[in-house]
Amino acid sequence: MTPSTKRVVITGMGVISPLGLTPESVWEALRDGRSGISPIKSLPMDDLPFRSGAEATEFTGAIEDYGDLDKSLQRAIKKNMKVMCREIEMGVAAAQRALQHSGLGEDRDPERCGCLFGADYILTRPEEYADGIRACRAASGKVDILDWPKHGLSKVNPLWLLKYLPNMPNSHVSIYNDFRATNNSLTVREASMNLAVAEASSIIRRGTADVMLVGATGSRIHPLRTTHIYLTDQVASEQADPTTMSRPFDVSRDGMAVGEGAGALMLESWEHADRRGAKIWGEVIGQGAAMVGPNTNENRDYLRLAVGRALRAAETSSLGRLPSAWHLHAHGLSSTKADASEALAISDVLMSRQIPVTAAKSYFGNLGAGASAVELISSVLAMHAGTLFPIRNLKNPCAEATFPALQDFGSPGEAFLHCSFTPQGQAAALAIAKAA
């Protein structure tokens, strides 16, 4: 088999989410129709017009949240927690859980194992500068930026920047697990995970690596980012029942619900997975991406291009055909303009194909770069269970949604398309088939 035709399969999944810390807990929530959106506890919300979002409340940052680790790995991670912010901690934990879930043992060849991780740009928390601000105020009785070099800077932890660099999830994971093949980081907001899976799959197909641990982490719950999101994006209005705030493709939608989370997938060449007897959860059969820049058509153009390219790639994949029964997992941001243009893009590509469409953001809102990772895992689990979860809170589909937007449980088919995009004009799509 030539490198260009190597099959790339999913052998492990790890998740840190508002729906739980295991694939099983995520699936149970989706199956039961349970939302992860509730009043936000980690931030003061008095000055914002909304109070609720989707926090990964079960993730405390304790070493136990990273899964079943041996003592030496526990010590290594605990030692470095002082240089991990919450987003990095969630990403590392999801990756370690995916590695454990895959069953890949210590006998792996580190030269053939790599890592690709996606993230948002990660904002520093204001408290990192609190001691410096106090020192400036003590020196002159007021806070003057001109006093910062002399009185403030020395009070800042010299390692503070390491806590917030978006390449650090990949760095930590690769070092902890001695992954020496291709390693890289992507910061393309919500499109990061799909782009990372696409690149990792290409690396495996080229024969550069046998194993790629791929993940993404993100948050829209942060003292600065949450305020920024409110000022620049459309955020859902507070509801008496917070679980109804995220309503993708419904005529009543009025913005995204903010959230936080991370997810990771273990990708392997089919030969490598088969040789070690690994359980195969799915296969990457197509990928597509596009960048056209923001324009009057919003995300319609670049999403149409990305999904169309993933479909064409799937038609010529190792399966030799496009699966006859499948579903589409939409980005489903729940904002007025984004959902309308995404619905039009889906109709542009699917045309007469009447396939079911779902959107897991209706359960947990926008997790930033981590959203698409948790969504991919959700669809893989749906295929495994043979049941596709509906779009939560979808009562009256918008006029642009001419496709079968799921309002009840349906069939996931034998494959799915997943799409994600950013407000800046980047889109990425994947086609994943059920394990043969």
The pLDDT > 70 percentage for the chain reads: 96
Q: Do 8 and 268 form a contact (C-beta atoms < 8 A)?
A: yes
220 pLDDT more than 70: yes
- Sign of the torsion formed by the C-alpha atoms of 161, 166, 171 and 177: positive
d(CA 191, CA 392): 22
229: closest CA among 196, 251, 258? 258
pLDDT digits (tens, 9 = 90+) for 376-417: 999 999 999 999 999 999 999 999 998 888 899 999 999 999
pLDDT of residue 2: 43
d(CA 25, CA 211): 26
Q: Do 53 and 365 form a contact (C-beta atoms < 8 A)?
A: yes
Least confident range from 88-92, 104-108, 200-204: namely 104-108
Residue with tokens 């987003």: 87
Least confident range from 65-74, 86-95, 176-185, 341-350: namely 341-350
Domains of the chain plus CATH, in order, are 8-123+164-434 (3.40.47.10), 126-160 (no CATH)
> What six digits make up the tokens of 8?
């790339």
5 pLDDT more than 50: yes
123: closest CA among 92, 91, 160? 160
Residue-wise DSSP of 186-216: E--GGGHHHHHHHHHHHHHHTTS-SEEEEEE
Residue 75 backbone phi and psi in degrees, to 5: -65, -40
pLDDT of residue 1: 37
pLDDT digits (tens, 9 = 90+) for 226-274: 998 999 899 999 999 999 999 999 999 999 999 999 999 999 999 999 9
Mean of all residue pLDDT scores within the chain: 93
Burial (CB count within 10 angstroms: exposed 0-12, middle 13-18, buried 19+), residue 165? middle
Residue 126 backbone phi and psi in degrees, to 5: -55, -30
Please state the rounded mean pLDDT for residues 288-294: 82
